[in-house]
Amino acid sequence: MKQIAVVSGKGGTGKTTITSLLAQTLDNKIMVDCDVDAANLHLLLKPNIIQSTDFYSGKKAAVNPFKCTECGRCEYVCRFDAVNRQQEGGYKIDDLSCNGCGACTITCRYEAITLENNLAGKFFISDTEQGDLVHAALGIAEDNSGKLVARIREEAFVLADEKGIDLILIDGPPGIGCPVISSITGVDLLLIVTEPSLTGLHDLKRLLKLAQGFKLPSVVIINKCDLNSDLCSQVEAFCKDQGIPIIASIPFEKELVSIAHEKDVVFQTKAFNIIKDSQKELISRLNL
Ligand code: SF4
Ligand code: SF4
């Protein structure tokens, strides 16, 4: 099984659009949208959800009003101001503030507080014209996106194994934090999508440092390469200096985002045809 992760560091480089173009050119793969905080690959792939699963992570405190004597000790001990006295009497926990530390449960002499499993989001297995897509939606203000990413990658792996598919295409989240690390750990190839802007170059450098830390082979696509020739040259010089191959440079096409999901017309775009050519390079680098 081979895994390729598409990442960008900076948001807005066109990473997901390029992933969707790759999805249309690569055969026999499972796709995973690891940007669980703000998933958007499904907007381009138009999935039909066939399985939805609750994702539980962490704990939240809950007060049992029948046991609570309203002593107020839990409110005093909570460092997160998550315990609120109600106007009508009794105490309630604010789920958004509670971090599940459990201090209140230890403090309560009446065993009136318990820690409950926290429903942090959902993940889905969907059918698309380009193949199966595993994606997720993390709940509002929930953390643990790294865990959810690990979970959906696991699901994709099992699905690919069941179906005899030997390629997983991952659309990674922006940044270089925990969800990105969770998205790229153990992949066979990192495809970094950058753009000729100062922030694009800055984040390319940060991402490469991360990739080198994990000893991940990397290649680069420069998207919107014609928007700033000076900065494009700087990106090219940096990649050359680091020994990172640039497998494609894609000019800006205003209409691309709006038609990226339309199979019948997207093949006419320059971007699609450039990606189609560069996927041969990806396949050979993956030894598929
Ligand atoms: S510590 Fe226990 S009994 Fe006291 S207010 Fe909190 S939940 Fe109620
Ligand atoms: S579990 Fe921790 S954060 Fe949550 S209400 Fe209790 S003391 Fe506060």
Pick the atom of ligand 1 nearest to 63's CA: 7
Q: Ligand 2 centroid to 85 CA: how many Å?
A: 14
Ligand nearest to the CA of 70: 1
Q: How confident is the model at residue 264 (pLDDT cuts 50, 70, 90)?
A: low
**Residue 78 near ligand 1, beta carbon < 6 Å:** no
At the topology level of CATH, where does 2-46+129-285 sit?
Rossmann fold (3.40.50)
Is the minimum distance from the CB of 288 to ligand 2 under 6 angstroms?
no
pTM here? Answer: 0.88
101-141 confidence digits (pLDDT tens)? 999 999 999 999 999 999 999 999 999 999 999 999 998 88
At the topology level, CATH places domain 59-119 in: Alpha-Beta Plaits (3.30.70)
Ligand 1, residue 67: give the atom nearest the CA: 3
Query: Which ligand lies nearest to the CA atom of residue 118 in the structure?
Result: 2
31 Cβ closer than 6 Å to some ligand 1 atom: no
CA distance 94 to 83: 6
Whether ligand 1 lies within 6 angstroms of the CB of 59 is answered as no
The burial of 183, by beta-carbon neighbours within 10 Å (0-12 exposed, 13-18 middle, 19 or more buried), is given as buried
Parallel, antiparallel or unpaired: strands 167-171 and 246-250:
unpaired
Of 51, 6, 1, 50, nearest in space to 29 by CA:
1
pLDDT above 90 coverage of the chain, percent? 76
Write down the domain spans for the chain.
2-46+129-285, 59-119
Instruction: Quick: pLDDT tens for 16-32.
Output: 999 999 998 999 999 99
Question: 57: Cβ–Cβ under 8 A, 6 or more apart, which residues?
Answer: 118, 120, 121, 142, 144, 147, 148
Over range 41-64, report the average pLDDT: 92
Asked if the domains 2-46+129-285 and 59-119 are classified in one and the same CATH topology, the answer is no
What is the C-alpha to C-alpha distance for residues 51 and 286, in angstroms, rounded to an integer? 30
Tell me, in angstroms, the distance from the centre of ligand 1 to residue 73's CA: 6
- H-type alpha helices, the chain: 15-25, 41-45, 73-77, 103-107, 145-163, 178-184, 198-213, 229-242, 256-259, 263-266, 270-285
Alpha carbon 174 to its chain centroid, in Å, reads 7
